[in-house]
Every structure is written in structure tokens, then in C-alpha cells.
Amino acid sequence: MTSLLGERSGTLGRESSGDSLRLSSMSLTERSSTESLPLPFGELGCKLSDQELRETAYEIFVAACRNTAGKPLTYISSSERAVGSTTPSSAERSLSSASSMSASPSMQRSLTSTAASKMKKALGMKSSKRGSGKESSPSRTVKKPMTIGELMRVQMRASEQTDSRIRRGLLRISASQLGRRVESIILPLELMQQFKNSDFPDQQEYEAWRSRNLKLLEAGLLLHPLIALDKSDVSSQRLRQIIRGASERPIETGKNSESMQALRSAVMPLASRSADGFSSDAYHWADGSPLNLHLYHVLLEACFDYEEGSIIDEIDDLMDLIKKTWIVLGITQMLHNLCFLWILFYRFVKTGQRDLDLLVAADNQLMEVSNDAKSSKDVVYSKILSSTLSSILGWTEKRLLTYHDTFSVTNIEFMEYIVSLGVSSAKIMVEDISHEYRRKRREEADVARSRIDTYIRSSLRTSFAQIMEKVDSNRRSAKNQSISVPVLAILAKDTGDLANKEKNIFSPILKRWHPLAAGVAVATLHSCFGNELKQFISSVTDLTIDSVQVLKAADKLEKDLVQIAVEDSVDSEDGGKGLIREMPPYEAESVIANLTKAWLKVRVDKLKECVDKNLQQEAWNSKGTNKERCAPSAVEVLRSVVETIDAFFQLPIPIHPALLPDLMIVLDKSLQYYATKVKSGCGTRSSFIPALPSLTRVEIGSKIWKKKDKSQNLQRRNSQVGTVTGEGSFGLLQFCLRMNTLHHIRTEVENLGKKIKTCLRNVESAQADITNGFESKFDLTLSACQEGIQQLCETAAYKMIFSDLSHVLWDSLYIGDTSASRIDPMLKQLDQNLGTISNILHDRLRNRVITAVMKASFDGFLLVLLAGGPARAFARHDSQILEDDFKALKDVYLADGDGLPVEVVEKAAAQVKSVLPLFRIDTESLIERFKHLMIETCGATAKSKLPLPPTSGHWSPTDANTVLRVLCHRNDEAASKFLKKMYNLPKKL
């Protein structure tokens, strides 16, 4: 903007011709975009053109920017200095000289600052890349630095001659009325008093100037006065007569003529009226609505580059000066906020809706207006506010009610702010302006959600109608082709594409105001397509290829729409039930299913009987197993599934692909049922994890493990660790066979898919695209097998360690003398069990199960050390034994390089390895560590009496409970004294 100022100032000598040139260069798009967007401030009712309003606004601006002390302005244009177009009087020159040092410093400020605009930043606008007053485009540069005053002149399109005349007039007014404030001057009247014909370059310009001032007095004092006129007011009647008479006998301006005296005598009483009936120092000639708003709108337009449309970089300085006109125009901060909102929005529309910055700024400015609206009770302000917001809302809704036609991927970034403008405008109008709303309970109305709901439904219905029209048009043009896809099948696909477009592009934006935006959209599309489908189904009497295609497409569309609705409503209060109720099922499948219902029912019942019968006869032992080492029942069930598939494809119907999903569901559920039964009754991992005994304390020096008390101690240990609640009848062999069985089913499902594809290719109705696109999905079966293998794997591991090997773990390991009851017996039996696993389990499952056993054994080892009860006690020198035993336990799984990967073993051993060093630490240090951890947890107040730390279930050297358990199992006097004093722990349970 500023780089063009030098050239602009030289082209504005002839103001009217310059304006016409710029208006003619405005594109048709820009002009048409504002034709339906009139100013919302109200009609003036007089023939004041935009140019006349601009000239008047500039006069007010220059007058208002005089110094606060009331001294006259001084300004001599470069043209006057050069040629002296109109020579001031000696008195004017002396006044000019006297006030040259006191002229408004803000008007004289040079435009060389490159600081970012605070207003732009506050409005959320991007900073300009160009330096203020330096350059705007590569082809144009500034000829000289400019001041704020010069910038405003160029922005208001006032020539230097016009500007010079205005300042000269203000100088004369100040000379004759020294000390008068700007609000006490009736500017049009006073300027008419100062200028005559000879002050203008031609008669035509003079007459236009005189006519403008009379029209301005008429607008400000008669048509739109701040204080309403009394019909009997003599001054108003006299002023009307003078203005009417001026068309026949022009008023002589520039001197105290009789006509000017008459004009003054009529104007002054009207302008000086006040609401309380007393005369006022302020003259109300331009502060009546809507005249003042039209004038202020013109001033605000100066903040924009009138060629590019963007906000100029110097807006901060310029706005400071524009605000000086408030006292003349009766503008308040609230009115300014409202007018500035409008000008931002208006400029965005006027410049072709391409400048996102203007839209963002308007949206942010609307927040200020919203705050104002909540506190204002002014009737006039509310009326202007309502008109402004109605205009914005009308414009936005015209686009949002058909937002699919308005927005696309290329301009989607504009949508959020346009929606925000519309919704915020509606909320203000309903919540802050509408008295009817105030009488309602606030929670009964959700303006934003209601508006967005309307936009979504309206736009999608329109788009759906357009899709229907397009599909029908394509059908008519392709009716002579031998192969054609049914119209509703195409419509279903296009509707699904529209739903995905909505979900991916528009719903993420609309969800800000409506939590179920995507759900509302798909519910609308579901209803639109459903109406068409109902008519189609009512006419179907038998199954044909066309009807199957339509029903299949409808079924797919419905599933997609419902899925979107469910995903969109996961976090809603009702879980999306309201939306689902709005989407009654199409029941497309039932039309086909009814024709094959009897056949399917027979096959399903037969398959179910096969599963139950084989499961009842299954022994789950090594006898009768096959080369896959899985249960014979699985082989029989899979054989029945294959027979069902063969029978299905032998049915004398031409629509196998359409009915295939129903068959897949039946087969999937049957195999899932079998897989679920395979794992049932085997227990879970938690079934075999013993309950931790209560904390106790060993007896120092006593014979903890006496041979004669072995049975008694064993009974006590069992009561301490709890009883196993799992199914004791399931041995390791059974677990392995069941896991092999589930793995076999999972593998065979893939073969079933290949078989179904082969069958599809061989049936007459299978087109290439349907066959190639088919995917056999046994999701329920695969999921059940996966879950079953995981459950059986963990259960088998924990049963082996905590039940099968409990006699060498719980009942023997480290009981009594640590060195005499080490881990070797357990390792021996563990190795045997791992051998059984390796021999029976399928290769793909072997490492998975052994890894689970490893983790269970490590957990068991830690439980012995930390929850072993009063039968176990460890001295510091025992720590090496514990570490050696654990290394031996790890080595079992490494198997000299033939076992599990080293990194897998080390990762599983990390917890044990972190705890073992505690057994090396001396008792005093353990006690101090325990106290430190407790103080960290409970605070300094717990120093004297520490609470018993809870068992977290995760053993760690930084866990107070873990450290306490090491102390409980520490075989020395210091630990015993500390535990007795602190917790009075018993020595026996």
C-alpha cells in the first residue's frame, strides 16, 4: 500500500476523474459481490453520494485532528509552495507561522516504522511482509517519506488542492473563533462562510461543493437529528424553505450575505438543541444515526488499501487519528466496534472473498461486539446491531445452507470463520437482542447447535438432490447400452462418497459447534436414500441381478453411514442412540434373506449340532490326534464348514455374491462359537496367582524349618499364599492341544477364503470386479482364536509355575536354610515341562508359550523373595545365592543359544534384576532407604510414625513396600527391632 502513495498523490489532482477510473477497473465479480450487501445502518433519505460522504468525512477528520489546545492547523501543500495556487492572506500567514510548531504531532509523524501492527495482531491477522512506507510491489517505490496526514489524504482520495482548501478554511475559522472546540463548530456552515466561487478551480466544482454542504445540513439537522424534531419547530421549517429555495436562487457563500445570515439563523438553534431543553456547547449536526455511521464507515474505509482491499500496515496510527472524530460524530467504543466489524466483513466480501486475513479479523472483532451486546441497553445501538448482524447472518446463511456448493478442499480454510460469523451473529441476536429468548430458560435453547443442524441438513439434502439428478441424467444418456448398473446402486455409491466427503472435509469444522455434526449428516443422507429405497423395495417381487445389486449397495451404504454415526457419537451422553433412532434400518438384507431363510436355517442348525456334538466327545488328550497335533473335533467342524460352502454354491440361484455375506456371517459365528468353547473352563492367569500373605517377621536364630514340623509348615504356607482357584483338571498336555487347535482353525480360515474365491469364479453370476474385490473375513473367528491362544498361553504358564511346580517353588525354595534349599529342583522339573511344550506345541506357538512361562517363573521367584512368609529369612551373604539362582533360572530359557533371544530374556528379567541388589544392602541402609521413600510419599510429618505402605503389585527398589518386605525377610537383630518398634509385626501368622 504505502509504496504506491508517492504515485497516488500525483494522480489525485483531478479527483472525480480518478474515482471514475478506479471504479471502472473494479472487476464484475467484486461489484456483484456487494450488490446484495447494502450498508446496514439505514437509508440516508437524501442524495448524498459516496464521494460527497467521503469529502465530508475528510473535512471532519482534518478538523478533529487539530491540536487539543484548539490552535489552528497549518498546512501548505507542495503545489502551493511551488505555484501559490491560492495565496493566503497576511493574517493567515501570520497565524500559520505562529502555530507551525504546535501542529498535531501525530499528523506529522513519518511513515518509516516497520514495527508490526498491534491492531493486526489483536485481530489475528498476519503481519505484512513489506516494510511500512517502503514498498508494496517490485514495480513501484515511494518517492519520499510520508506522514500520517498525507497517508490519510491519499486514502480518502482527496487532492492536495482540496486538502489545502480545507485546512485554509479551518485556519480562517480558528482565526475568527479562537479557542472553540471542534464539537462546537458546525463545519458545513462555517466552511460555506469561508469560501466563495473564486476559491475553486471551476464553477462546476464550486456548485457541487455548495450543494453537498446544504444536503449535509439537511441530513444532519432535518432528516437524522440526534434529538427528534417537533413538527412545530420554526427553525426546522425555515431551514427546509432555505434549502428548497437554494435550488432556484443559490446562496452566496464566502461572506455575510443576507442568505448566509438566514441560513445561520436557521441552523444554529437546530444544532444547539439538547435532550434536557437547555442549549449546549456541542452542536449536533453530524451525530444523528444513520448519517454519523455512514460518515464513520467512510473514515474506516481509509484503513484499507482501496486497490488491493487489505488493511494497511499503518492502521494503528491512522485509527488513533480517526478516533478523534468520535466527539463530532457521536461515536462510542461500542459503535466503533460494530462499525469496524462491518467494514472488515464488507471488505472481505467486496474484494472477492479471497483475503482470509479479513475474514479472521472480522470473526475476532465479532467477539468484541458480542461482549458489548451483553452489556448494552441502548435501543438505538440494539437496532443498528440487529441490522448489522442480520446482514452478516443473511450473507453467511446463503452460503452455509448449501455449503457443499460453496466450499471445497481448495477454499475450506474459509469455512470455519464464515460459520463462526454466522453462528456468533445468530447467538447475539437470539440471546442478547431477542426479548422472547430472555423469557425462556437458557438451557432450553442451543442457538449454535440448532443453526449448524439446519445448515447440515439443508446442504446435504440439496447435494443429494443434485446427485439424484446427475445419476438419472446419466441413466437416460446410457439407456441404449447393453450393460448398465441400476440407478439406485449408483446413487448408493455416490451417497457414500458424499458421506465420506462430509466426514473428512466438513464435519471436523462443524464439530466445533455441533458435537454430532457427522452423525447428523449421515442421518440426513440415510433418510434421503431411504425414501428412494422404500419405493424400489415395494416394487420388487423376485430376486434379479439388478435388485441384488441395489440391495447390496444399499446395505453397504447403511453400514458405512451407521459406522460414521457411531464413531461420531462415542463421547455423546446417549452414546448416539438418538441418532441411530433417526436412522431406521433399510432391511435390504431381509428381502434376499426371506427367499433363502429356510435353507440357511437348516444349514445353521446342522452346523451348530456338529460343533456341540464334537465338543462333547472331545477328550483333549494325545490319543486320536492328527499330524497337526490338534483336536479331532476341530477337523470335523472344519469339514462341516466346507460342506456348507459347497452346498451354498450349488444352490440354483444366480445371486451367490449378493447372498455370500450372509453365509460368511453364519460360518464366522459357528467357528467363533467353537473357538470360544475351546478356551472355556480353562481358567485365567489370575486364577493361579496366589494371594499375598500378611506381613510378618521371622524369628531370629530359631529353627525355621524342622523336619518334624514339615507337614505343619506346609499347611501354614498354603494358608499364607492362598489357594488356587483355577481348573485343576487341565494339564499341560490339554493346554497345548487346545492352543494347537485354535492355531489350526486360524490357519484353515485362510484356506476357506481361497476356496470361496474359487467357487465365486466358477458361478455364472460372479463378475470379475465382484470376484476380485471379494475378501473373506472371519473377523469373529480370528479374534476368538487370537484371544483364546493368549488366554490359554498365560493360563498354562501361571498354572505350571504356581500350581504344577508349587511343591518346588512355594513349598521348598529357600525354606529354612537358604543354601540348603536352592532352585535346582525347580529348574529340573521346569526343564522337563519346557521339553513337553517343545514336543507338542506347533512351531509358531512354541516361543510364545515359553516366554509366558519365563515371565510367570520370574514373577514366582520374586514372590518367594518378597512374600515368602515367616518360613524364609535371608542374610546379606545369601544375596549371592539368590543372584546365582536367578542366573541359573535365566539360563534355562537361553538354553546355550538355542532358546529364547537374549534381549527377550533380559527384558523379562529387568524387574528381578532391579530388586536383587536390595538383598546385598546392609540393614541400616535399608531402613534409611525405607524411611526416605516413606517421607517422600507421606511428607515430613511421618518421620516419627510411618504408616504401613500399601502393596502396589509392582516390585521396585524405589517402592517402599518392596523395601519393607526385604526388611521383613532380613535375618538380623536390627531389622527385627526396627519392625517391632515401627509396626509391631508378629513373628508368626
Continuous segment of H or E residues that includes residue 925: helix 923-938
83-87, 625-629, 771-775, 953-957: least confidently modelled range: 83-87
pLDDT of 595 > 60? The answer is no
**Mean pLDDT, residues 531-554 taken together:** 80
- Write the pLDDT tens digit of every residue in 421-477: 999 999 998 887 765 445 454 444 588 899 999 999 999 999 999 999 988 887 777
Rounded to whole angstroms, how far apart are CA atoms 606 and 585?
30
Q: Which residues contact 813 (CB under 8 A, 6 or more apart)?
A: 821, 822, 823, 826, 864
896 vs 412 pLDDT, higher one: 412
The reported pLDDT for the residue numbered 89 is 45
Which are the contacts of 289, defined by CB distance < 8 A and separation ≥ 6?
41, 42, 224, 380, 384
**Stretch (H or E) spanning 905:** helix 902-915
- Mean per-residue pLDDT for 331-351? 93
Cell of 580: 441411530
Angstrom distance (rounded) from CA 331 to CA 289: 10
650-669 confidence digits (pLDDT tens): 765 556 777 788 788 888 88
CB proximity list for 616: less than 8 A, separation 6 or greater: none
Q: List pLDDT tens digits, range 312-324.
A: 888 999 999 999 9
- Amino acid identity for residue 363 in this structure: D
Q: What is the residue-averaged pLDDT of the chain?
A: 80
Predicted local distance difference test score (pLDDT) of residue 445 = 56
The half-sphere exposure of 710 on its side-chain side, counting CA atoms within 13 A, is 5
Stretch 255-260: mean pLDDT: 85
Q: What is the pLDDT of residue 661?
A: 81
Name the residue type at position 198.
S
Chain position carrying cell 503389585: 953
The number of beta carbons lying within 10 Å of the beta carbon of residue 938 is 15
Question: Looking only at Cα atoms, what is the longest distance across the chain?
Answer: 140
**Cα-based distances in Å from 117 to 85, 122, 269, 343:** 38, 9, 44, 18
**Shortest CA distance to 301 belongs to which of 283, 319, 324?**
319
Segment holding 549, helix H or strand E? helix 545-568
Per-residue model confidence as pLDDT tens digits over 867-922: 888 888 899 999 999 999 999 999 999 988 888 999 999 999 999 999 999 999 99
347-369 mean pLDDT: 91
Q: What is the DSSP letter of 920?
A: G
CB distance 203 to 36 below 8 Å: no
Residue 842 clears pLDDT 60, i.e. is over it: yes
Nearest C-alpha neighbor of 886 from the set 920, 921, 902, 862: 862
Q: How far apart are CA 392 and CA 520, in angstroms?
A: 25
- Give the H/E segment covering residue 135: strand 135-137
Q: Which of 759, 738, 761 has its CA nearest to residue 841?
A: 738
Please report which helix (H) or strand (E) contains residue 356, including its range: helix 356-375
Residues sharing a CB contact under 8 Å with residue 224, sequence separation 6 or more, in sequence order: 44, 45, 288, 289, 290, 291
Which set of grid coordinates corresponds to residue 307? 486497490
Region 259-272: mean pLDDT is 91
Share of the chain above pLDDT 70, in %: 79
Which residues make beta-bridge pairs with 874? 970
pLDDT at 743: 93
Rounded CA separation 693/985 (Å): 13
Place 128 in a pLDDT band, splitting at 50, 70 and 90: low
Cell of 31: 461489484
Report the alpha-carbon distance of residue 233 to residue 235 in Å, rounded. 6
At position 957, the amino acid (one-letter code) is: P
The phi, psi pair for 371, rounded to 5°, reads -65, -40
What is the 3-state secondary structure of 783-798? HHHHHHHHHHHHHHHH
Q: What is the DSSP annotation of 148-189?
A: HHHHHHHHTT--HHHHHHHHHHHHHHHHHSTT--GGG--HHH
pLDDT at res. 31: 38
- State the pLDDT at residue 959: 92
What is the structure's pLDDT at 479? 61
Percent of the chain as helix, strand, coil, to the nearest 5: 70, 0, 30
Amino acid 604: pLDDT: 80
| Model pLDDT, residue 694 | 78
Q: Domain residue spans in the chain?
A: 39-67+145-331, 447-586, 595-689+728-914
Res 543: pLDDT = 57
pLDDT at site 701:
52
Tell me what the mean pLDDT of segment 366-379 comes to.
89
> Residue 964 contacts by C-beta under 8 Å, 6 or more apart in sequence?
695, 930, 948, 949
Q: With 80 as the cut, is the pLDDT of residue 163 above it?
A: yes
Least confident of 44-53, 85-94, 114-123: 85-94
Tell me the percentage of the chain whose pLDDT exceeds 90: 44
- For 413-455, the three-class secondary structure string (H helix, E strand, C coil) is HHHHHHHHHHHHHHHHHHHHHCHHHHCCCHHHCCHHHHHHHHH
Could you give the angle at which helices 412-428 and 447-477 cross, rounded to 10 degrees? 140
Q: What is the DSSP pairing of strand 135-137 with strand 140-141?
A: antiparallel
Q: Which residue has the higher pLDDT, 457 or 951?
A: 457
Q: Does 481 or 230 have the greater pLDDT score?
A: 230
Inter-axis angle of helices 447-477 and 487-501, to 10 degrees? 150
Give the lowest-confidence range in 507-511, 592-596, 663-667: 592-596
Asked if 614 contacts 741 with a C-beta cutoff of 8 angstroms, the reply is no
Flag the least confident range among 1-15, 341-355, 598-612, 739-753.
1-15
Joined grid coordinates for residue 301: 474505509
Find, among 454, 536, 553, 555, the residue nearest to 494 by Cα: 553
Identify whether the C-beta of residue 596 lies closer than 8 Å to the C-beta of residue 659.
yes
Side-chain-side CA neighbours of 134 within 13 Å: the count stands at 9
Per-residue pLDDT tens over the stretch 715-749: 444 433 433 444 445 788 888 999 999 999 999 98
Report the candidate in 414, 428, 425 with the shortest Cα–Cα distance to residue 509: 414
Q: Could you report the per-residue pLDDT of 191-244, keeping only the tens digit for each?
A: 999 999 999 999 999 999 999 999 999 999 999 998 888 877 888 899 999 999
Lowest mean pLDDT among 15-24, 485-494, 713-722, 946-955: 15-24
Position 109 confidence tier, pLDDT thresholds 50, 70, 90: low
pTM, whole model, 2 decimals? 0.58
Query: Quick one: cell of 988?
Result: 508368626
* Residue 114 pLDDT > 80: no
* Cα dihedral 352, 353, 357, 358 sign: positive
What is residue 130's predicted lDDT score, i.e. its pLDDT? 42
Q: Which residues neighbour 23 within 8 Å (Cβ) at sequence distance 6 or greater?
A: none
Bridge partners, 383 (sequence order): none
- Select the more confidently predicted residue: 513 or 143: 513
Q: Which residues share a beta bridge with 137?
A: 140
Sequence-distant (6+) residues with CB within 8 A of 264 are 189, 193
Nearest CA among 506, 528, 534 for reference residue 518: 506
Q: Is pLDDT above 50 for 561?
A: yes
Amino acid at 687: S
Residue pair 327/281 in contact (Cβ under 8 Å)? The answer is no
Q: What is the pLDDT, as a whole number, of residue 88?
A: 45
> To which residue does cell 480353562 refer?
682
User: Tell me, what's the pLDDT at 127?
Assistant: 60
Question: Got the DSSP string for 196-263?
Answer: -GGGSSSHHHHHHHHHHHHHHHIIIIIIS-SSPPPTT-HHHHHHHHHHHHHTTSPPPPSS--HHHHHH
Helix, strand or coil, per DSSP, at residue 457: helix
* Buried-exposed string 409-431: b where 16+ CB fall within 10 A, e elsewhere: eeeeebbbbbbbbbbbbbbbbbb
Split at pLDDT 50, 70, 90, the class of 94 is very low
| pLDDT value for 750 | 85
Cis upstream peptide for 269 (omega within 30°):
no
Residue 484 is given by DSSP the state: -
Per-residue pLDDT averaged across 334-341, rounded?
Answer: 95
Candidate ranges 9-23, 183-197, 443-457, 529-543; pick with highest mean pLDDT: 183-197
Strand partners, 311: 304
Question: Backbone phi, then psi, for 229, in 5-degree steps?
Answer: -85, 145
